[in-house]
Amino acid sequence: MADIYEIVEKASKTGKVERGVNEVTKAVERGIAKAIVVASDVDPKELTQHLPILCEEKKIQFFEADSREKLGISAQINRPTAAIAIIEVGEAKLDSLK
């Protein structure tokens, strides 16, 4: 079973991802996100607490990662990120996470 960081890395290399809470929120509201990954070490939690609810409403897969640092690295950016939206999965296999 692939881990969430491998999926994000593959999607960011072969598909399309949006990075950051604002961009992720827009992608969810527009219904273009296939999956959302949020780091559990976000502080304050209020920054991302709306995302699981939005994902449920829009029927978008929601995953939690344990580290903003690792999430940023797997999304091909050199800084921590609180949230990632997978827009196009590319070669990533989302169903391997279920």
Q: Which CATH number does the domain housing residue 49 bear?
A: 3.30.1330.30
Would you say residue 20 has pLDDT above 60?
yes
Task: Note whether residue 70 is domain-resident.
Answer: yes
Task: Note whether residue 52 is domain-resident.
Answer: yes
Would you say residue 45 has pLDDT above 50?
yes
Task: Note whether residue 10 is domain-resident.
Answer: yes
Question: How many domains is the chain partitioned into structurally?
Answer: 1
The domain of 48 spans 4-92
Task: Note whether residue 34 is domain-resident.
Answer: yes
Would you say residue 79 has pLDDT above 50?
yes
Backbone angles phi, psi at 36, to 5 degrees: -125, 140
Task: Note whether residue 98 is domain-resident.
Answer: no
Q: For the segment 52-74, what is each residue's pLDDT rounded down to a tens digit? A: 999 999 999 999 999 999 999 99
* pTM (2 d.p.): 0.93
Task: Note whether residue 97 is domain-resident.
Answer: no
Residue 1 confidence (pLDDT): 41
DSSP letters spanning 49-61: TTHHHHHHHHT-E
Residues 6+ apart with CB under 8 A from 67: 39, 41, 80
Residue 98 confidence (pLDDT): 59
